[in-house]
C-alpha cells in the first residue's frame, strides 16, 4: 500500500480523542472477530481505519506528524481494542510501539522512514538468529535468513531483525524494507490467529551500514533522539519502552470482553443437567454466581492495575524520575500478573459455559485461546518475572 501521499492525522488530536476512537471501534472489531480468526489476518479496511484514527501516531514524534502521547494512552488503546478483537489489538500494539526502535537510529534514517511517509510502521522479530548468513561487503552487508513471529508484517513498510556479525557473531539490529523480504505462510496457531505473525525471509539482501546497529548503539541512539525530539517525554523512559502493559493489555481487554459476554448471556444460557438429559439455567445456580463474581472481580483488578501503573510510569517519565532495578522488576511482575489473572478468570468462565466453548467461533473460546497463547510471550512469562522480582526485592541495599 503506497500511503506516502496522505497527510498525517491532525496534530490537534488529544488523548481523549484517540481513546474515544478506540471505544467506537470495538463494535466493528467484534463483528469481524470470527473472520479475523479464520483468515489469520486483520482486513485491509480495519488497518486503514486504525491509520486514519491516528493509532499508529500515538508514540511517534511531532516532527513526523506524531502525537507524542504517553504510554498510558497506548496501553489504554490496546486494552480497549482487545475488547473487540485481541489479534487486532496486538497488531496495533506491535506496530505503534516499534516506533521506539526507529528512534534509536540516526536522524537521517528516521527521515528515510518517516520523512515522506508518516504512516510507515515497523514489524519483524527481535530475537537473535545465529544461523543467519551475513557477508560483509562495501557499504554494508548481504544477509540471508528467516525470522518467525513477524506480527503485523502484512502491513508494515519496514522490518526489523537481529543478525550475527563478525567472528564472534555479535548481535546487530537491522531494519530493511518489507518489499525486500518474502513471506512464508506458516501462521496456524491455536490463539491470536489474526495477528498474521508469519515468517519472513531475506535472500542475499543488501543492508546498508546506516540500517545496522549494535545493542549498545541502539541504547545510545535512544538517548541521542532526546535532542532531536525535545518535547517527546517517552524518550526519557528506560529503553526498551515497549512490551509492557501494551502487550499485557491485550490479555486484560480480551478478559473484559469475556466477562461482558457472560453477563449479557447467562440469563438465557443453559447446560445439560446430567447424562440422562434435562437442562438447568446458569443464572439460577449459586456456584455460577460465586465463580463469576470471582472472575469478574479479578479482571476488574487487572484493568485497574493496567490503568494505574501505565499512568504512573508515564508521570515518572514526564518528571524525569529514573527507574531502579526494583521498579523495573515490579513492573515486569505486574505485566505478567495481569495476564495470568486474565487467563485464570476466562478459564473459570469457560468452565461455567461448558462444551459450547469448543466451537472456535464462540467468543469465550476465542478469548480463552488468545489469552493462553499470549501468556507464553517472553515479556509475559510469569516464572521469569517472578524470579527477577524476588531477586530485586530481596537484594541488599546498596552501600
The Cβ of residue 384 has, within 10 Å, a number of other Cβ atoms equal to 14
Of 327 and 398, the structure prediction assigns the larger pLDDT to 327
Nearest to 263 by CA among 167, 192, 364: 364
Domain over 245-393 is classified CATH 3.90.1150.10: no
More confident of the two residues 364 and 285: 364
Strand partners, 128: 162
**What pLDDT, on a 0 to 100 scale, did the predictor assign at position 237?**
86
With cut-offs at 50, 70 and 90, classify the pLDDT of residue 209. very high
Better pLDDT: 221 or 267: 221
pLDDT digits (tens, 9 = 90+) for 265-292: 887 776 666 666 677 777 778 888 899 9
Top CATH class of 120-221 equals: mainly beta
What cell does 194 get? 489474526
pTM, two decimal places: 0.93
Calculate mean pLDDT across residues 321-336.
92
Helices 286-318 and 245-265 pack at an angle, to 10 degrees, of 150
- Banded model confidence at residue 9, pLDDT cuts 50, 70, 90: confident
Residue 98: other Cβ atoms inside 10 A: 27
How many residues in the chain?
Answer: 399
Q: Where in the chain is the domain with CATH 2.40.110.10?
A: 120-221
H or E element at residue 3:
none
* Whole-number pLDDT of residue 1: 42
| Among the listed residues 191, 188, 244, 149, the one whose alpha carbon sits nearest the alpha carbon of residue 372 | 191
For residue 186, pLDDT over 90 is answered with yes
Q: By the 8 A CB rule, do 156 and 134 touch?
A: no
Q: Is the pLDDT of residue 243 over 80?
A: no
The order of strands in the sheet holding 140-150 is 133-137, 140-150, 198-208, 182-184
**The predicted structure's pLDDT at residue 244:** 65
* Cα 305 from Cα 294, distance rounded (Å): 17
Cα separation, 176 vs 37, in Å, equals 28
Among all chains, which residue has been given the C-alpha cell 506528524? 65
Q: Where along the chain do the CATH 1.20.140.10 domains lie?
A: 245-393
∠ CA 129-191-335, nearest 5°, is: 70
SS3 state at 353: helix
Q: Peptide bond preceding 240: is omega within 30 degrees of 0, i.e. cis? A: yes
Residue 147 in contact with residue 205, Cβ under 8 Å? no
Q: Give the integer Cα–Cα distance in Å for 296 and 22.
A: 22
Q: Is the separation of the CB atoms in 92 and 129 below 8 Å?
A: no
DSSP assignment of 170-222: EEEEEEEEGGGSEEE-----SS-GGG--EEEEEEEEEEEGGGEEEHHHHHHHH
Check if the beta carbon of residue 154 is closer than 8 Å to that of residue 94: no
Amino acid at each position: 500500500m503506497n500511503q506516502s501521499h496522505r497527510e498525517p492525522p491532525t496534530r490537534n488530536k488529544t488523548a481523549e480523542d484517540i481513546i474515544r476512537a478506540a471505544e467506537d471501534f470495538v463494535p466493528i472489531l467484534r463483528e469481524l472477530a470470527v473472520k479475523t480468526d479464520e483468515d489469520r489476518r486483520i482486513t485491509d479496511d480495519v488497518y486503514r481505519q486504525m491509520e486514519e484514527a491516528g493509532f499508529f501516531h500515538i508514540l511517534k514524534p511531532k516532527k513526523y506528524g506524531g502525537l507524542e502521547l504517553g504510554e498510558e494512552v497506548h496501553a489504554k488503546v490496546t486494552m480497549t481494542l482487545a475488547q473487540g478483537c485481541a489479534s487486532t489489538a496486538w497488531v496495533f500494539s506491535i506496530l505503534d510501539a516499534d516506533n521506539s526502535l526507529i528512534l534509536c537510529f540516526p536522524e537521517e534514517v528516521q527521515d528515510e522512514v518517516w520523512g515522506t511517509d508518516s504512516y510507515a510502521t515497523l514489524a519483524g522479530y527481535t530475537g537473535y538468529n545465529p544461523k543467519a548468513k551475513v557477508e560483509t561487503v562495501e557499504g554494508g552487508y548481504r544477509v540471508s535468513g528467516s525470522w518467525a513471529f513477524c506480527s503485523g508484517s502484512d502491513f508494515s513498510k519496514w522490518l526489523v531483525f537481529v543478525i550475527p556479525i563478525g567472528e564472534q557473531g555479535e548481535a546487530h539490529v537491522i531494519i530493511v524494507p518489507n518489499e525486500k523480504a518474502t513471506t512464508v505462510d506458516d501462521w496456524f496457531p491455536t490463539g491470536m490467529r489474526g495477528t498474521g505473525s508469519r515468517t519472513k525471509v531475506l535472500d542475499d539482501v543488501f543492508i546498508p551500514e546506516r540500517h545496522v546497529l549494535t545493542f549498545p548503539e541502539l541504547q545510545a541512539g535512544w538517548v541521542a533522539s532526546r535532542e532531536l525530539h525535545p518535547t517527546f517525554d517517552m524518550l526519557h523512559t528506560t529503553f526498551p519502552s515497549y512490551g509492557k502493559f501494551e502487550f499485557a493489555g491485550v490479555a486484560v481487554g480480551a478478559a473484559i470482553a469475556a466477562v461482558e459476554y457472560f453477563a449479557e448471556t447467562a440469563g438465557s444460557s443453559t447446560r445439560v443437567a446430567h447424562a440422562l438429559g434435562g437442562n438447568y439455567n446458569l443464572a439460577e445456580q449459586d456456584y455460577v454466581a460465586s465463580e463469576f463474581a470471582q472472575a469478574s472481580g479479578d479482571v476488574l483488578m487487572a484493568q485497574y492495575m493496567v490503568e494505574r501503573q501505565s499512568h504512573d510510569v508515564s508521570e515518572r517519565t514526564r518528571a524525569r524520575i529514573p527507574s531502579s532495578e526494583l521498579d523495573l522488576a515490579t513492573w515486569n511482575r505486574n505485566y505478567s500478573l495481569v495476564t495470568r489473572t486474565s487467563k485464570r478468570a476466562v478459564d473459570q468462565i469457560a468452565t461455567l459455559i461448558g462444551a459450547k466453548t469448543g466451537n472456535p467461533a464462540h467468543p469465550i473460546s476465542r478469548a480463552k485461546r488468545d489469552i493462553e497463547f499470549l501468556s507464553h510471550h517472553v515479556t509475559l512469562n510469569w516464572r521469569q518475572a517472578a524470579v527477577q522480582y524476588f531477586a530485586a526485592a530481596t537484594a541488599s541495599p546498596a552501600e
